[in-house]
Amino acid sequence: MNLPAYLIGFTLCLTALWAFYHLCLAHEPFHHLKRIYLLSAIVVSAIIPQITFTAYVDTPATPISTQLENPQSLLTVESPPHPETTNSILPQIVSLIYLLGLGLFAIRFFHNLGATLQKINKNELHRVGKMRYVLLDERVVPNTFLWFIFLNKEQYRLQTIPQEVLHHEEVHARHLHAIDLIFIELVKVLLWFHPLVHLIRSAIKLNHEFLADQGVLANGSSRRTYQSILLEYATKGRAPSLSNAFNFSLIKRRFKMMTKSANKRVMFLKLGLVLPLLSLLLYSFSHREVVHNGAVYSAGNPDVSEAELIQNPAEEYNRLAKHYNTYPEADFLVKLRDMWKIRDLYTSIPKEERAALENYPRSTTSLTVFISDDGKYIVDEKEVTLSWVSSLLDNLNDRERSNVYVFDSMTDYKRYVSLRGQMNRSALPPNDVYISIFSERLVESTLSKGFEKAEGSIQEVNHADRNPEITTYLETLLETLESQRVNIDY
């Protein structure tokens, strides 16, 4: 799955889970469950778009034979989808902006973490049970990081800090709320551009305050007294982003939450709605693939579905086979996937019915790249970039990718013909993809000489390796193709 598609799936899942929280859970006083929900929403949204469900279809197959294409066919150029021009630098700009933001947020995260750890190491520690009070010389709003509670030294020694404040911070420490904050801050570093991540971070911090308020009141403190203390400390400053602070701006919401009564029945009914929501998200944003006679079909391909493989396979096969037996011009990706579809449809049809089918079409899909002497890459008479070539192959699933072969020399092609001839004498056509690389100058020269002679006199066109002037450009293209895990050395 490519990154943009994954981010879309992640965003839509997180949006649905956030909307459910905001509408059904945010105003309920079950703060421990809300804490689990908020953290799980991010994890679940990250996992669902990566889940793949597999269906196995086992049908008999009868081998048929087909003749391999001859080398002349390597000059046929399929039309790839909308090649980008070499002047397009948008992907590089987007990547640069993302990396810049990633770097800035990472620096801020580690700076804040380092500053907090430095305070712990350089200041006086006072242990009370499992708690560690860090006593600071400067005026500071009481705040907590892990089991460390940061307090003003003078106020602590004079015992002017209310017990409700200390207990509030101890609740943060006992429940290790800082772990949640570290997690969400790391997510924010990676997805700094994502507004929902920032919203969920705010909700997590607010819910921590609800939990601490709940803990203070459960300990026997007067609600009115505690609210007065909240108002007193509400204007005393800000705490570090990795800490839970007694000071927090949404005082009115905290006061309102203190008056809420818990209705377990209503809460469990609302939580019960999470299950159908998760089922809907799994159905909508996970992936399905069909393993058909050991071959994998990704349901991410809109042209292929399990239903098509099982229902009316002969009708669908005949439609596609008849179309491709006329050798039409076809989009590179569309033809490649249609050929796999034809193969799987054919093998799903009983042997006794195959005699009435259309002839099995030639299954090889070709892409030809010409390299000019000045280093331009030409596909279908249009100049393209290496990133376009790479993005084209990004669309292939593992099965499609495994059958892509690159020919930058005639030796490669002849070796491939020999190899495939030995491997597939009694099997269906392998649905291979040829990526042939030629020198633009040598091809033009060969064609020009050929037209001066009798028709059909051209027997072989020199590949890119025969032009030493483009060696560097050829090697760069081969490196790009190799990074896509296609067959270069075989």
Amino acid at 93: I
Are 150 and 144 in contact, with CB atoms under 8 Å apart?
yes
pLDDT of residue 355: 87
Q: H or E stretch including 49?
A: none
Residue 479 has pLDDT above 80, yes or no: yes
Residue 448 has pLDDT above 70, yes or no: no
User: How far apart are alpha carbons 469 and 139 in whole angstroms?
Assistant: 71
pLDDT of residue 424: 54
Mean pLDDT across the chain: 81
Residues 380-412: tens digit of each pLDDT: 889 999 999 999 998 888 888 888 999 888 888
3-state secondary structure the chain: CCHHHHHHHHHHHHHHHHHHHHHHHCCCCCHHHHHHHHHHHHHHHHHHHHCEEEEEECCCCCCCCCCCCCHHHHHCCCECCCCCCCCCCHHHHHHHHHHHHHHHHHHHHHHHHHHHHHHHHHCEEEEECCEEEEEECCCCCCEEECCEEEEEHHHHHCCCCCHHHHHHHHHHHHCCHHHHHHHHHHHHHHCCCCHHHHHHHHHHHHHHHHHHHHHHHHCCCCHHHHHHHHHHHCCCCCCCCCCEECCCCCHHHHHHHHCCCCCHHHHHHHHHCHHHHHHHHHHHHCEEEEEECCEEEECCCCCCCHHHHHCCHHHHHHHHHHHHCCCCCCEHHHHHHHHHHHHHHHHHCCHHHHHHCCCCCCCCEEEEEEECCCCCEEECCEEECHHHHHHHHHCCCHHHHHCEEEECCHHHHHHHHHHHHHHCCCCCCCCCEEEEEEEHHHHHHHHHHHHHCCCCCCCCCCEHHHCHHHHHHHHHHHHHHHCCCCECCC
User: How far apart are alpha carbons 442 and 133 in whole angstroms?
Assistant: 78
Q: What is the largest CA-CA distance in the chain?
A: 107
User: How far apart are alpha carbons 179 and 253 in whole angstroms?
Assistant: 24
Amino acid at 419: L
Residues 103-119: tens digit of each pLDDT: 999 999 999 999 999 99
pLDDT of residue 85: 41
Confidence of residue 69 (pLDDT cuts 50, 70, 90): very low
User: How far apart are alpha carbons 20 and 32 in whole angstroms?
Assistant: 17
Residue 317 has pLDDT above 60, yes or no: yes
3-state secondary structure of 291: strand
pLDDT of residue 477: 92
* Tokens encoding 73: 């066919």
Which DSSP category does 260 fall into?
P
Predicted TM-score of the model (pTM)? 0.57
3-state secondary structure of 401: helix
Which single residue is written with the structure tokens 């500071």? 140
Output phi, psi for 473, to 5 deg: -65, -35
Of 192-206, 245-259, 293-307, 469-483, the one with minimum mean pLDDT is: 293-307
What number of CA atoms fall less than 13 Å from residue 405's CA on the CB side?
A: 22
The fraction of the chain above a pLDDT of 90, given in percent, is 43
> Which of 53, 43, 46, 52 lies closest to 7, judged by CA?
46
The fraction of the chain above a pLDDT of 70, given in percent, is 79
Residues 224-270: tens digit of each pLDDT: 999 988 888 766 655 566 666 554 457 888 999 998 888 888 888 99
Q: H or E stretch including 124?
A: strand 124-128
120 or 417, greater pLDDT: 120
Residues 327-371: tens digit of each pLDDT: 888 888 888 888 888 888 888 888 888 889 998 887 678 899 999
